[in-house]
A and B are shown apart, each in its own frame.
Chain A
Amino acid sequence: MSESENADLEQFRSETRAWLEANCPPEMRKPATSDTDVFWGGRNAKFASEPQRIWFERMRDKGWTVPDWPKEYGGGGLSAAEHKVLRSEMAKMGARPPLSSFGIWMLGPALLKYGNEAQKKEHLPKIAAGLIRWCQGYSEPNAGSDLASLQTRAESDGNDFVITGSKIWTSYANYADWIFCLVRTDPTAKKHDGISFILFDMTSKGVTTKPILLISGYSPFCETFFDGVRVPKSHVVGTVNRGWDVAKYLLQHERAMISGMGERGVGRPLGQIAADSVGTDAQGKLDDAMLRGQIATFDVDEAALAACAERAVDLAKAGQAHPAFSSAMKYYGTELNKRRYEILMSAGGVDALEWESERSRQGARPRAWLRTKANSIEGGTSEVMLGIVAKRILDLPGA
């Protein structure tokens, strides 16, 4: 980087810090306590609090719900280096993301790469402004890890496709406004060659959803049924029957997003949380040597993973990244997050077992603990991630 670029970046850093200081409400400088505390946008969106609304609107007006998207699509137009600065400044003050959305994490990047101009103009600004909430129609009852064996069919009828079939594990399908969906448009083609990637409104005739209750006691996802849903062909992203490319590209982004879940670097450190409940010995050390060891090992691994996540971004910027690297990060990040919550449960002892009480914020910790078990399943299981690393990065033999 040249000196003047460096100076510009430093100026951007100080301006950004000042802006965040002035505009991020104090309540938004700590991690969300539950799913309802997160702002997801959408037609029926409600803010959980006034500070949440203020924070969202200010960030949206700067294009910083999607800082690195082009300005013409509602983004902030930041360079990769500026985006890194913004993220690190937000992390430093513990500022939470103003808007969480599958549109931002998954669909947006796929549209930017594969969408036509009309699709980009139609959907991206609405994602950026939190107007439409999206869900992901990939998995089916018999097509989970083996996603490409999906059977939901889309039959051509004039300018429309008519979609029939069902999906499962569709997160937030019951709250979503639109779905990005994988459908089979050519049943005679080879598995990967007859799939298309299509977008449609969840209020379309023939769409129904049915929530599924999880071990965490919540039902964040649904079975989703399509009974002759009519969708214009212009809603296909990319080429008809070539949807697998779009699907895979989107999965890379989903995996990168999931690997970053867990409150890395924000909130109270595990060691402090544990010291509060377990106590310390005369030397100020956590009064449970094995737990202390587990936490310290966790801290080492977490710091190392954070460095690796940073390096992954830098490698991408330098054009040296392997496209399957997000699978490596997804595997490690999710396994680590599960470890975090095992430790949190262990540190909390009896107090972490309460499920329904004011004191426990309705069992926030045990519910979150149970939720993390999905991290190594959703977006592709750990086993599948390791398979991808083995075959695509290490080039080991066997299909």
Chain B
Amino acid sequence: MALVLTEEQSMLRDSARGLISDKAPVSHLRSLRDAKDPTGFSKEFWHSFAEMGFAGLLVPEEFGGSGLGFMEAGVVMEEIGRTLMPSPFLATSVIAASALNRGGNAAQKSEYLPKISNGSLLATLAIDEGAKHRPLQISLQAVRAGNGFKLSGAKALVVDGHVADLFIVAARTAGSAGERDGLTLFLVNPKAKGVAIERTIMVDAHNAARIELANVEVNADNVLGEVDQGATLLDGVLDIGRGAVASEMVGLSEEVFNRTVEYLKNRKQFGKLIGEFQALQHRAAELYVDIEITRAATMKALQALDADVAKATSAVAVAKARAGTTATRAVQEGVQMHGGMGMTDQFDIGFFMKRARVCEELFGDANYHTAQLAKARGY
């Protein structure tokens, strides 16, 4: 498989780019932030996005989606990264859709997937409990009760948690924190009794929440996949999410880089353009190379996911690790090379820095994935 976009993928990119840059440039995020918008994204825009087929991009055609692959999802994520558009695409269309599609039974699929496709249902995965991403360190308990389970515990950084219509909650049905066995995924209604949701206003002005479950009752139909055997399903879904976030970070890095290079070509000091200073030229060139390499690694990961999710782990680890390092460098150089302008809220660059920090923590930072690769390689 060639590591270049096909004609169809380029067309998808162009249409996503046109729509997003037109309707949701960085100023869109800024105004939602400034207005402390209760939803945190534009519902109206989300519906037009869904009408164009983006919401159901990964949903099979039989459930009303377009049945496309992770490469295509990555193409859209990259465009989202360019304008930092806040949207339910990652949580709902990529992660939840993949969880339901891969782990759901026939009834669950036909209930939820069509609604994801038409943009009417927002869903999200609730996984992390501690400050750092450690997917096996789950202690939220699910104890059997009658025909179902009772869930108790807390989750942090639940993306879109305060607006979601459906939570996919990773819980422990056996074993203890750190173990692979004994994890189970549950579909939980956020309106159920015992669910407490706190919207956490985050540094990047995107949506997230902490949630607390106190004896929340779910019945057996709400188990996604198999009881106690959720780790494998979770691995795949998380890897899909990581590939998508890496794509967002590629888009974000490239955008902040392009803006920085433009600035180097226009800002004058000491009677010349600052882009004439070799010290800055070389740093810009290094960053360019970093971004190109990261883009290739991310495409490789998405192709690996499309070929076989279960075998994509190392490629995904490489991509997410590289994307984290590169995005961090890109936003730091972006602020630095803009000088004082880079530090002002009035200027957009800071928005990229904030989003990069959040993307870095989402589903494992560069250190986490670098260590995962070492483990996979046996040293």
Flag whether B106 is at the interface (Cβ < 8 A).
Answer: no
With A304-B322, A328-B288 as given contacts, are A272 and B378 in contact (CB-CB < 8 Å)? yes
Flag whether A158 is at the interface (Cβ < 8 A).
Answer: no
Min CB distance, A291 to chain B, in Å?
10
Question: Could you say which residues of chain B place their CB within 8 Å of the CB of A284?
Answer: 378
A-contact bits for B292-328, CB 8 A (1 contact / 0 none): 1111110110000000000000110111011000000
Cβ contact of A308, chosen from B278, B293, B369, B378, cutoff 8 A: B293
Min CB distance, B378 to chain A, in Å?
7
Flag whether A71 is at the interface (Cβ < 8 A).
Answer: no
Q: What is the CA–CA distance of A300 and B321 in the complex, to the nearest angstrom?
A: 7
Question: Could you say which residues of chain A place their CB within 8 Å of the CB of B201?
Answer: none
Flag whether B202 is at the interface (Cβ < 8 A).
Answer: no
Question: Could you say which residues of chain B place their CB within 8 Å of the CB of A299?
Answer: 318, 370, 373-374, 377
Q: Which residue of B lies closest to A293 (CB)?
A: B370
Min CB distance, A258 to chain B, in Å?
15
Question: Could you say which residues of chain A place their CB within 8 Å of the CB of B288?
Answer: 328, 389, 393-394
Q: Are B278 and A387 in contact (CB under 8 A)?
A: yes
Question: Could you say which residues of chain A place their CB within 8 Å of the CB of B286?
Answer: 331, 386
Q: Are A304 and B373 in contact (CB under 8 A)?
A: no
Q: How many residues of A contact B (CB 8 A)?
A: 46
Question: Could you say which residues of chain A place their CB within 8 Å of the CB of B379?
Answer: 269, 271-272, 274-275, 280, 285-286, 292, 295
Interface segment, A205-213, A216-224, A312-320?
A312-320
Min CB distance, B253 to chain A, in Å?
13
- Which of B3, B293, B295 counts the most chain A CB atoms within 10 A? B293
Q: Are B296 and A304 in contact (CB under 8 A)?
A: yes
- Which of A280, A317, A328 counts the most chain B CB atoms within 10 A? A328
Q: What is the CA–CA distance of A272 and B293 in the complex, to the nearest angstrom?
A: 25
- Which of B272, B289, B295, B314 counts the most chain A CB atoms within 10 A? B289
Q: Which residue of B lies closest to A318 (CB)?
A: B4
Q: Are A389 and B294 in contact (CB under 8 A)?
A: no
Q: Which residue of B lies closest to A389 (CB)?
A: B285
Interface size class of B (residues with CB under 8 A): 35 or more
Question: Could you say which residues of chain A place their CB within 8 Å of the CB of B300?
Answer: 307, 310
With A390-B282, A394-B261, A396-B281 as given contacts, are A304 and B294 in contact (CB-CB < 8 Å)? yes
Q: Are B296 and A307 in contact (CB under 8 A)?
A: yes
Q: Are B264 and A396 in contact (CB under 8 A)?
A: yes
Q: Are A387 and B3 in contact (CB under 8 A)?
A: no
Flag whether B2 is at the interface (Cβ < 8 A).
Answer: yes
Flag whether B273 is at the interface (Cβ < 8 A).
Answer: yes
Q: Are A383 and B378 in contact (CB under 8 A)?
A: no
With A271-B377, A292-B374, A332-B289 as given contacts, are A387 and B296 in contact (CB-CB < 8 Å)? no
Q: What is the CA–CA distance of A287 and B75 in the complex, to the nearest angstrom?
A: 41
B-contact bits for A363-399, CB 8 A (1 contact / 0 none): 0000000000000000000010111011101111110
Question: Could you say which residues of chain A place their CB within 8 Å of the CB of B353?
Answer: none
Q: Which of A266-284 contact B (CB under 8 A)?
A: 269, 271-272, 274-275, 280, 284
Question: Could you say which residues of chain A place their CB within 8 Å of the CB of B294?
Answer: 304
Q: Which residue of B lies closest to A274 (CB)?
A: B379
Give the A-B pair count, Cβ closer than 8 A.
Answer: 138
Cβ contact of B4, chosen from A280, A305, A314, A389, cutoff 8 A: A314
A-contact bits for B11-29, CB 8 A (1 contact / 0 none): 0000000000000000000
Q: Are B4 and A303 in contact (CB under 8 A)?
A: no
Min CB distance, A51 to chain B, in Å?
30
Q: Are B370 and A311 in contact (CB under 8 A)?
A: no
A-contact bits for B115-135, CB 8 A (1 contact / 0 none): 000000000000000000000
Flag whether A23 is at the interface (Cβ < 8 A).
Answer: no
Flag whether B275 is at the interface (Cβ < 8 A).
Answer: yes
Question: Could you say which residues of chain B place their CB within 8 Å of the CB of A397?
Answer: 265, 273, 275-276
Question: Could you say which residues of chain B place their CB within 8 Å of the CB of A387?
Answer: 278, 281-282, 285
Min CB distance, A191 to chain B, in Å?
20
10 tightest CB-CB pairs across the interface, nearest first? A271-B379, A398-B276, A390-B281, A304-B297, A389-B285, A311-B3, A308-B296, A296-B374, A307-B296, A386-B285
- Partner-B contacts on A (CB < 8 A): 269, 271-272, 274-275, 280, 284-286, 292-293, 295-297, 299-301, 303-305, 307-308, 310-311, 314-315, 317-318, 320, 325, 328, 331-332, 383, 385-387, 389-391, 393-398
A-B contact pairs, 26 of them (CB 8 A): A271-B378, A271-B379, A274-B379, A286-B374, A299-B370, A299-B373, A300-B318, A300-B373, A303-B314, A303-B315, A304-B293, A304-B296, A307-B300, A307-B318, A308-B295, A311-B4, A314-B3, A320-B4, A328-B288, A328-B289, A331-B289, A386-B281, A386-B285, A389-B288, A390-B285, A393-B288
- Partner-A contacts on B (CB < 8 A): 2-4, 261, 264-265, 272-273, 275-276, 278, 281-282, 284-286, 288-289, 292-297, 299-300, 314-315, 317-319, 321-322, 369-371, 373-375, 377-379
